[in-house]
Structure 1
């Protein structure tokens, strides 16, 4: 009962801006979930090779990596609401176009545009939540934010696979995929409505502007700048590993096990659902061992399941391995984000978040062609086994690095205890 009372108390304390942000997160992530689980198959259905799939993913990640820091700075200066309105609206429109275009050069162009426009949304949402919450709320809030995001992805993933298979009874495979992609884009655009209800107070804007002057003078001499760099290295290692396997999980299940669209959507959505549950439980782990140890323990526990997925030839075992790896590896994300936000002042939270995500996306951008190249060369078994094994090695190095660098910053354990006592 303590667990439920703890979460009920937290949720009741969230203000209007946080609640609207959660709804925006729900709609946009359902749209993304529908879109991303099917889009790889759209490219296949158009008759292009796997290399184009790798190029599309790399172009999106590269664009995001290039724009994240400028987007973070713009978010700090122009305001979170304006940045998110632009990002959500533009991304929804771009997704609609991606569902109908067929020319290779345009597929790459609009993949690049997706990376640019979505960056403004993703780089502003975490700082917005941080600025509208108290420090003692953030571990729970970020856990809930990522859990809701993941849960919405579950709905999107399931819907994407089921809708595509359903429409295929009445039309061609290409058309059924296209209809599903358009539905995903529409859902994403619905997420604009809650953002229009955000309330930016003049006092909070003035507060940020006042702090900007102070931080500009001392930021580069402070621990904040160093902290951003240390977090960036950790994210780069994880991002490179993730870029090898995560974008191609749907192709992995299709190639190795000949799974249907519905089955793939179900498997991926169950992995997301398990992640959502793990994120909700995350604050309990933090309370027992602190933030840094919680992140490291969760990441290390995921590695055996990643290797199981890499080498098994049984679909059930592969699905279970994927489910536990997904949950454990991602459960530490909100904890890590809470730690980073606590180390950087409000005026630079956008920059900190953007740098963190930029290096992660650099990993995806650089590893896309590498991953598809390895699979093409070595086949659906040894190709995926090799890239999964490389990812496991990078996750191990990243986890060890994170512990060695941040072990002296294990302070949120006290903050969480304070929350429980309230």
Structure 2
């Protein structure tokens, strides 16, 4: 199947009710994430926190999520996945409410931990649940459409970063007050994402007791685990050094606030949305591994040039294509991993992949935030570029053989 952009969009009509409900939840979640990440780091900055505390918050949440990933994956293969996913959305909303109420250090720690519970608990269940919903239509297409929907919704959420600017200029609020009111709006939107998940009619039925688990993954999946752990750990660590801190980085380097930064993220997501659909075409022409490696390799020089940009506009011109190229391969990689994993083991495999990404990413965020504040604002971006180069090489070498075996029908 080689869908172009129009054909991919028209294929959405072939998705079943469950897939459409989950895409609706994806849209609401994307809107929330776009709004949240446009202001979150600036909210903490306006409260007097710097890059070190922003990194610490991320570290706490990611460590909690990491500790839950493997048990959450096992739970997702033994219980109804939609209820686990619904609880995770509720925890995310509660995390936002806590930090909207208070920005004390204690509140930030509790908020980060609760958010980590939601992230860690829901990720494996969500991946397995969505894979089930699009299996008949094709996972390459399904995950690409999901990424398109998420990106489009996130771009709208990014533009909501102008709401605090409006509150400051029109109502005379300070940035801290404006950001706090905006956080409550984000919490309300996040809570609404629970409903479509609850309405899903899940096909998966947990296996009977004693039917297996992590230790009974078939040999092909055990080999897949090695590739997943190494590559996900590399890309997670590389990303953590600078990518989650880019809002803070751009604000400090160029003196911009949530409006321009939110607009940049919105434009990036608008550009990425059709690119996610085109990713299925790249996969059909080059193969998943070659196509993903080529796209991600092309993004690395653009990232390395951002510290040399003389203005926010110049940095934005590099950031947008960098993000599109790096991220448009993600749905292909996710689909490949799910396709190579038996349905009854997908929750466990999703937890392994997310665990492998989260732990190095959380450590790297702490390192990146400290380096930006204490040593060099630009150094983490250069470090990310170097680690990404190693990751792309490892991904191509390790997943290439697995893809060839899948094509040959081997185990």
- If the TM-score is normalised by the length of the shorter chain, which range does it land in? over 0.9
Task: Check if 1:284 corresponds to 2:285.
Answer: no
Q: TM-score, normalised by structure 1?
A: 0.91
Q: Which runs of 5+ in 2 are unaligned?
A: none
Provide the C-alpha distance between the structure 1 equivalents of 2:62 and 2:333, rounded to a whole number of angstroms. 21
Partner residue in 2 for 1:308: 305
Q: C-alpha distance in 1, partners of 2:289/2:298?
A: 14
Q: Does 1:398 align with 2:399?
A: no
Per-residue CA distance 1:63-85 (angstroms, 9 max, x = gap)? 11111111111121111111011
Structure 1 equivalent of residue 193 of structure 2? 191
Return the offset for 1:404. Answer: 0.9
Moved over 6 A (4+): 412-415
Deviations 1:281-336 (A, max 9, x none): 10111111100001100110101110121322222221011101110111111100
Q: Which residue of 2 aligns with 1:17?
A: 18
CA positional deviation for 1:221: 5.1
Q: What residue is the counterpart of 1:385 in the other structure?
A: 378
Kindly report which structure 2 residues correspond to 1:273-422, keeping only aligned pairs within 5 A, or say none. Answer: 273-378=270-375, 383-410=376-403
User: For this pair of structures, how many residues does the alignment match?
Assistant: 405
Deviation at 1:253, TM superposition (A): 1.2
Q: In the superposition, relative to structure 1, how do residues 2 and 148 fare at CA in structure 2: closer, same or farther (>3 Å)?
A: closer
Cross-structure match for 2:224: 227
State the TM-score, normalized to the length of structure 2.
0.93
SS of the aligned residue for 2:242 comes to helix
Q: Deviations over 1:102-135 (max 9, x none)?
A: 2212211211210111223322222112112336
Q: Distance in 2 between matches of 1:54 and 1:125?
A: 26
Say if 1:84 and 1:121, in contact at 8 Å, map to a contact too: yes
> Separation in 1 of the partners of 2:222 and 2:401?
17
In structure 1, C-alpha distance between the alignment counterparts of 2:50 and 2:138, rounded to whole Å: 47
Alignment check: 8 A CA contact 1:292 1:409 kept: no
CA distance in 2, matches of 1:326, 1:187: 25
Q: Which moved more, 1:291-300 or 1:369-378?
A: 369-378
For 1:356 and 1:122, the matched residues in 2 are separated by 10
The equivalent residue for 1:57 is 58
Distance in 2, Cα, partners of 1:37 & 1:62? 23
User: RMSD of aligned C-alpha atoms?
Assistant: 2.2
Matches within 5 A, 1:227-266: 227-266=224-263
* CA displacement, residues 186-226 of structure 1 (integer Å, 9 cap, x when unaligned): 1111101111211124xx41xx416x855549734522122
Determine helix, strand or coil for the equivalent of 1:77: coil
User: Are the counterparts in 2 of residues 275 and 327 from structure 1 also a CA contact under 8 Å?
Assistant: yes
Q: Distance in 2 between matches of 1:112 and 1:150?
A: 26
Classify 1:8/1:315 alpha carbon distance in 2 versus 1 (closer, same or farther; 3 Å). Answer: closer
Structure with a larger share of its residues in helix: 1
Indicate if the aligned counterparts of 2:341 and 2:349 stay in contact, CA closer than 8 A: yes
Partner of 1:40: 41
